A and B are shown apart, each in its own frame.
Chain A
């Protein structure tokens, strides 16, 4: 194992900001932040539909607002393999809906309130994620 591209300061700073958002959503609206839950409930359920939509709109506007005020261009690199994108997207949608959470719902909100369920979910999807990347590298 070699450690590369490690950005601890920006990672921690961004994490603190995400934690603040999660706390506000809890104390003001009484809800736990889980993006898969917010997105899938927006699609499926009538409850809180406008709230969920607005959260998703905010999620998209966040990067635009950041770019506007800092004049920084956000660079990302994503695969353009249709197989990985469609297969990955389907699995992420299915899996998070079946297990009831994703990196935010289980990994932050769930672990934050010491839910054993969420700890087990997080450990599971991290191990499988690591194994999947390992397989991709081998094949």
Chain B
């Protein structure tokens, strides 16, 4: 059942990316173009997602176990370390260069766009290199 849920959640997430237009790197770059012609839409996507998820996380956070799995697997890392900051800086730079982050990049493979496929392959290389180091 958890596998069906994973597929379903992926589909819903992908539909959200299309409706919010975050699948389009031009919209994302518009958000990051704060000092030029700014498109604040991405902030509204995050607000929308948080309005739904945040209260529900907190409502169910003391639940013993999830419905289709034996336990919750949620990171309880707290420390603000060098890796967090350096990683976020690298990610921000890549995000600003191409206008793609992992969700929209993978979702846009659906459109068989050569550019997004090249980006996703490079991103997977990045995951692999990070794992080696």
Identify the A interface with B (CB < 8 A): 1-8, 10-33, 35-36, 39-40, 43-44, 50-52, 54-67, 74-80, 82, 84-100, 102-104, 106-109, 111-117, 120-122, 124-134, 136-137
- A sample of 27 inter-chain contacts (CB < 8 A) reads A6-B39, A7-B21, A13-B20, A14-B22, A17-B13, A24-B8, A26-B56, A26-B66, A58-B13, A59-B11, A60-B10, A63-B15, A76-B111, A79-B99, A92-B98, A94-B94, A95-B87, A100-B84, A102-B101, A103-B102, A104-B101, A108-B50, A116-B78, A125-B89, A127-B92, A129-B32, A132-B97
Q: How would you classify the secondary structure of chain B's contact residues: helix, strand, loop or mixed? A: helix
Q: Could you tell me the distance in whole angstroms from the C-beta of B123 to the nearest C-beta in chain A?
A: 4
Known: A61-B14, A88-B122, A95-B90. A16 touches B51 (CB 8 A): yes
Q: Which residues of A contact B103 (CB under 8 A)?
A: 35, 59, 102-104
Taking a contact as CB atoms under 8 Å apart, the answer to whether B7 and A55 are in contact is yes
Residue-wise, chain B 86-128 has the 8 Å CB interface mask toward A (1 for contact) of: 1111111111111111110111111101111011111111111
Identify the B interface with A (CB < 8 A): 2-27, 29-30, 32-54, 56-58, 60-61, 63, 65-69, 71-75, 77-80, 83-103, 105-111, 113-116, 118-131
Q: Which residues of B contact A86 (CB under 8 A)?
A: 118-119, 122
Q: Could you tell me the distance in whole angstroms from the C-beta of A84 to the nearest C-beta in chain B?
A: 5
Q: Could you tell me the distance in whole angstroms from the C-beta of B121 to the nearest C-beta in chain A?
A: 7
Report Cα–Cα, A30/B63, bound state, in Å. 10
Report which of B18, B33, B85, B114 forms a contact with A63, defined as CB distance below 8 A: B18
Q: Which residues of B contact A134 (CB under 8 A)?
A: 33-36
Give the nearest-CB partner of A14 in chain B.
B20
Give the nearest-CB partner of A103 in chain B.
B101
Q: Which residues of A contact B50 (CB under 8 A)?
A: 15, 19, 108, 111-112
Top 8 A-B residue pairs of the complex, sorted by shortest distance between their CB atoms: A62-B14, A93-B126, A15-B48, A58-B10, A14-B20, A99-B87, A89-B122, A132-B96
Q: Which residues of A contact B97 (CB under 8 A)?
A: 84, 87-88, 91, 132, 136
Most buried by A among B41, B83, B127: B127
Taking a contact as CB atoms under 8 Å apart, the answer to whether A102 and B12 are in contact is no
Give the nearest-CB partner of A86 in chain B.
B122
Known: A4-B38, A58-B10, A112-B50. A63 touches B94 (CB 8 A): no
